[in-house]
Amino acid sequence: MSEQSYRERLHGRAIEITRRIVEAEGLEAVQARRIAREADCAVGSLYNVFGDIDGLILAMNGETLAALGLALGEASAACEQLPLEARLRTLALGYARFAVDNPRLWQAVFHHRRPAGSAVPADYLALQARLLALIEAAIADRIADGEARTRAARALFGAVHGIVALAIDERLGGAVAPELEQQVSFLVALIARGLNVGGAAS
Amino acid sequence: MSEQSYRERLHGRAIEITRRIVEAEGLEAVQARRIAREADCAVGSLYNVFGDIDGLILAMNGETLAALGLALGEASAACEQLPLEARLRTLALGYARFAVDNPRLWQAVFHHRRPAGSAVPADYLALQARLLALIEAAIADRIADGEARTRAARALFGAVHGIVALAIDERLGGAVAPELEQQVSFLVALIARGLNVGGAAS
């Protein structure tokens, strides 16, 4: 096997093993030695491919974001012609359901603490931008100014994310699945109403 | 010194030491041995007072929630006569500023993972309920039904919390302080508009 294809295979296999560990036991259980053992390679080979254990977790989280982006992108395309509230609700409930269906993978994206000063890879940032672009597209005809629209998309993402995060993490006001969907739908209805009344809010 | 007053003094001192460590280095740096050493007591005495290290962290987090509740309660009382949007904005920006001013204490409340199956103490739950009651009071004349109002308060808390959490944790769409306040104000304006238009939304 060429070195290139060995690296590629180890890349895929290590992410798969890490994902299995996270799904079963959570992010805390991820350890380089354990993954190297299960992948039948040396810890050094793992670091060779991913830089360090944070690089491996970022690679796994990137795949989670890609899957989320794909699911929401399809949902968004399917409701392009619907009124604003229905479009926003589709995105918001799609996000909530992804988190409910993949709680530990979703938590890994938001609980993972990068070492201080380490940069986020460009392709990871691109995946984040793609999620925000879906919201921007949904509100494009309500908020004409680009900067205001970006801020609005971030605020709306944060708002839905917060309800979902409290539910998944079982925190203050955190809700189980049906209650979670009711809270998200309630918020989206208010926001859509506010956007419809306000027109070009900034 | 009586045993009772020794326990009380150790209780206060250990929380103070823990808070100092969290403010300087974050929740990850909290260790029973270190706190016992700095409090000049045995680890066993610490466990005697708090049960375990999670009990100590919960006690510290309870004081953070109490301080937050006090700050927001005063802010809320001062704007009782103002229109809905101004009241909600006061609460939301008060929450955001508390997090910005005390990022690590605030993170400790939301990042602390309790051991599986451990119950949250009743007085801790009471502190959480007090925060939600401030939001419920602000929207009481818009949502008459008690259950719908509780759900609404939780959704609104979650929404603002999400924007704040992404900013403090520097996550997707996370914003620095001025941008954070703009996002929170934008969201509150939409929500207030939605509540004003919708009347008794549920």
CA-based nearest residue to A184, from A171, A194, A174, A196? A174
* Of residues B131, B155, B184, nearest to A163 (C-beta): B155
pLDDT value of position A201 = 44
Tokens of B144: 């008459």
pLDDT value of position B123 = 80
pLDDT value of position A114 = 77
Q: What is the mean pLDDT of residues B148-170?
A: 93
Q: How far is B4 from chain A (nearest CA, A)?
A: 32
* Of residues B160, B171, B194, nearest to A194 (C-beta): B194
pLDDT value of position A202 = 43
- Give this prediction's pTM: 0.91
User: Is the Cβ of B108 closer than 8 Å to some Cβ of chain A?
Assistant: no
User: Is the Cβ of A118 closer than 8 Å to some Cβ of chain B?
Assistant: no
The answer to whether A156 contacts B197, with C-beta atoms less than 8 Å apart, is no
Question: In chain B, which residue's Cα lies nearest the Cα of A167?
Answer: B158
User: Is the Cβ of B200 closer than 8 Å to some Cβ of chain A?
Assistant: no
Question: In chain B, which residue's Cα lies nearest the Cα of A124?
Answer: B172
pLDDT value of position B202 = 43
The answer to whether B183 contacts A131, with C-beta atoms less than 8 Å apart, is no
The answer to whether B190 contacts A195, with C-beta atoms less than 8 Å apart, is yes
CA-based nearest residue to B112, from B124, B95, B130? B124
* Of residues B151, B163, B166, nearest to A183 (C-beta): B151
Q: Is B29 helix (H, G, I), strand (E, B) or coil?
A: helix
Question: In chain B, which residue's Cα lies nearest the Cα of A187?
Answer: B155
User: Is the Cβ of B138 closer than 8 Å to some Cβ of chain A?
Assistant: no
The answer to whether A184 contacts B156, with C-beta atoms less than 8 Å apart, is no
| Res. B156: pLDDT tops 50 | yes
pLDDT value of position B142 = 93
Left if phi > 0, otherwise alpha if psi is -120 to 50, otherwise beta: which for B40?
left
Give 10-residue mean pLDDT values along chain A (202 residues).
85 98 95 97 96 94 94 92 94 95 93 78 84 94 93 95 90 70 96 80 44
SS3 of B54-110:
HHHHHHHHHHHHHHHHHHHHHHHHHCCCCCHHHHHHHHHHHHHHHHHHCHHHHHHHH
Question: In chain B, which residue's Cα lies nearest the Cα of A179?
Answer: B151
Q: Which residues of A touch B199 (CB under 8 A)?
A: none
Structural element, H or E, at residue B191? helix B177-198
User: Is the Cβ of B166 closer than 8 Å to some Cβ of chain A?
Assistant: yes
Per-residue pLDDT of B50-75, as tens digits, reads 999 999 999 999 999 999 999 999 99
pLDDT value of position B171 = 62
Q: Which residues of A touch B166 (CB under 8 A)?
A: 154, 157-158, 161
| Res. B162: pLDDT tops 70 | yes
Query: Which amino acid, one-letter code, is at B117?
Result: G
- Mean pLDDT, chain B, rounded, equals 90
Per-residue pLDDT of B84-129, as tens digits, reads 999 999 999 999 999 999 999 999 998 888 777 777 778 888 888 9
Concatenate the DSSP letters of all residues of chain A into one string: --HHHHHHHHHHHHHHHHHHHHHHH-GGG--HHHHHHHHTS-HHHHHHHHSSHHHHHHHHHHHHHHHHHHHHHHHHHHTTTS-HHHHHHHHHHHHHHHHHHSHHHHHHHHH--PPTTPPPPHHHHHHHHHHHHHHHHHHTTT--SHHHHHHHHHHHHHHHHHHHHHHHTT-TT---HHHHHHHHHHHHHHHHHHHHHHSS--
Other beta carbons within 10 Å of B178: 8
pLDDT value of position A174 = 57
Other beta carbons within 10 Å of A99: 23
User: B2 and B9 in contact (C-beta within 8 Å)?
Assistant: no
User: Is the Cβ of B173 closer than 8 Å to some Cβ of chain A?
Assistant: yes
pLDDT value of position A124 = 80
| Res. B173: pLDDT tops 80 | no
Q: How far is B2 from chain A (nearest CA, A)?
A: 37
User: B122 and B36 in contact (C-beta within 8 Å)?
Assistant: no
pLDDT value of position B55 = 93
Per-residue pLDDT of B135-151, as tens digits, reads 999 999 999 999 999 99
Q: How far is B144 from chain A (nearest CA, A)?
A: 15
Q: Which residues of A touch B125 (CB under 8 A)?
A: none
